[in-house]
Structure 1
């Protein structure tokens, strides 16, 4: 049973849903925490007599069910599905929503892994795609084709931190009978609710803020429509792109503290943004919380906070950026994001190397920070030393 409302029918607050939705105490033992059902198969009470609907863990597992119910409750969706990785979730979703010959609109600053999946894997299957500046709603409307099936959105984008007006693109997608999919990884469901703004589907890399501790790889899809959710579930089971029960348990554990962690991520990021904005070695800071960000007003309207991701450009160019990435001590040089520890990376050489030489290539002087929840004084001191 999914706990997401009070006895009076009102929706529980976000943190209450994060801790309780899909996670009632175990009926057999009373365990407060959902058990890890580390099993591949389940005893049947006669042929076709399934206990609780479970037969084989690829098709369903109680630990995964708890996570999927929690994900749906956090995003306000009809169906949540947990995957082995964020890219596995994207692959199954696109193969469910699209057919060979369909067209997809992709951001012109999309995550490198998403671009690689679409441009080098799904195009061989027959999917067509083109890129557009998603933060320009008029440009998106002009780029829609008769065979456009999906408008794919990241907001904030990775790593340029552009902001997309979800409600405006939802209207465009409805006008053209297309599906609006929003990658909500950077904001998390705590800061942004795409389905409430009109999106049809939300995707996550649960590796990031939802897991929150850099110890699990996973992905998620949450659908507004239950029927689409069933279609995605069919393809997921047919292909086998499911998450394991221990990984599900780790993501559930992380979700319980998502709200309090995001508050600290945002607070630390805002102070780092102020520091970088005044540093002579930095030419520009990319952060949606800045009043001079081109889509700051949209971010303020559709987000509950501006997030823990910060990008900035070095005045002295790429070599200076590479040097800074190698000098920090508390900011660990590494890919990924959203963990409690702070990370620093050079997108052009690391997470976005797959888009080098393409229209999505990122500037060489760009550095991306995933701001953790350490003491802010220590983070500032570390950056100051590296930039000196």
Structure 2
């Protein structure tokens, strides 16, 4: 597995790689993980080869891996049957090159809307077409590309990427569960008993967290979980919100379960795992009518969608659910039911038994360079 992000980073790419690795190990497969940046050199007994890396403005804590001849040497020594490329861009492109030179089939997982993110930063604003050209070049040379949502599949096809298939994401139903709701925490956060509305995620421009300012006049208490370069400006913009910083594990699970409503603000999500975690926690959800949330939220059944470009759309959606607690409760229960079959073991089994198996059988693959 070649991963643009892995532990100690905590994000969608790193978490997916971790869950895939866990299940592959449980099924008896042998692994080698190649990842960017400093970090542990083993994971659950698996060697993690760390590539040289650098940080980019606004994302210095997320390393960008550099080409390294040691990667191909390690790959040749390991003799893999298949190379899994997690969100390939820089390190992944070199991993792809190495795999093709070695004649090893590849499965690439598209997981990050890099072009959409680039448009949010002045120094990358004009790089979106270049990003897509590079993404198309990488994925066109892979035997199969997997995308986590119908929106991401359509986007890749529109950009000319061939052999694109849908592969979703799992959720830990034991960790994210309504039983982790703590009334003591709720009283601490909202002593006056107002509904608690929460956001969980990176505090950065592409997440559009500043949209939470639309909720400032609503009768609720706002909780913001996560960290990032925009935290200071958001604390100024949202003086009445409670900022809890980065939370993980059971601590994060109890926060999710303690919410009355979960809101995701940004439209550049290829999936949006936090919506799925909120649903597993038995919480109604509000998200943008764009990207991954379109697959996760059934409007009127498990939550509501807002129009990202329409003023007051987010506020209206949240206000409607705050005014209708019975509807929130029904949506929360429906959301929990919707994710019951989306366990990580089931999702990774589908990856192995369908996608890996078909690529290894030579179904719809590319001819690799010798």
- TM > 0.5 fold call: no
TM-score, structure 2 as length reference = 0.33
TM-score, structure 1 as length reference = 0.31
